[in-house]
A and B are shown apart, each in its own frame.
Chain A
Amino acid sequence: NAGVTQTPKFRVLKTGQSMTLLCAQDMNHEYMYWYRQDPGMGLRLIHYSVGEGTTAKGEVPDGYNVSRLKKQNFLLGLESAAPSQTSVYFCASTRRGVNYGYTFGSGTRLTVV
Chain B
Amino acid sequence: KQEVTQIPAALSVPEGENLVLNCSFTDSAIYNLQWFRQDPGKGLTSLLLIQSSQREQTSGRLNASLDKSSGRSTLYIAASQPGDSATYLCAVRDMDSNYQLIWGAGTKLIIKP
Contacts and interface: CB of A to CB of B under 8 A. Distances in A.
Report if A and B associate in a common complex.
yes
Interface of A: 31, 33, 42-43, 45, 48, 50, 56, 58, 90, 92, 98-107, 109
A103 B46 contact: yes
Nearest to A59: B100
A106 B42 contact: yes
B51 A90 contact: no
B62 to A, nearest CB: 14
A99 B31 contact: yes
Interface stretch (B13-21, B76-84, B101-109): B101-109
Interface string B38-59: 0001111110010100000000
A24 B32 CA distance: 25
Interface of B: 31-32, 34, 36, 41-46, 49, 51, 89, 91, 93, 98-101, 103-106
Q: By DSSP majority rule, is chain A's interface helix, strand, loop, or mixed?
A: strand
Contacts of B34: 101-102
Nearest to A103: B46
A42 B106 contact: yes
Nearest to B49: A101
Contact of A58 (B42, B89, B100): B100
Q: Which of A33, A43, A48, A109 has the most CB of B within 10 A?
A: A43
A45 to B, nearest CB: 6
Contacts of A33: 100
A90 B44 contact: yes
Closest 6 CB pairs of A and B: A101-B49, A106-B43, A98-B31, A104-B44, A107-B43, A43-B103
Nearest to A48: B99
A90 B43 contact: yes
Contacts of B104: 42
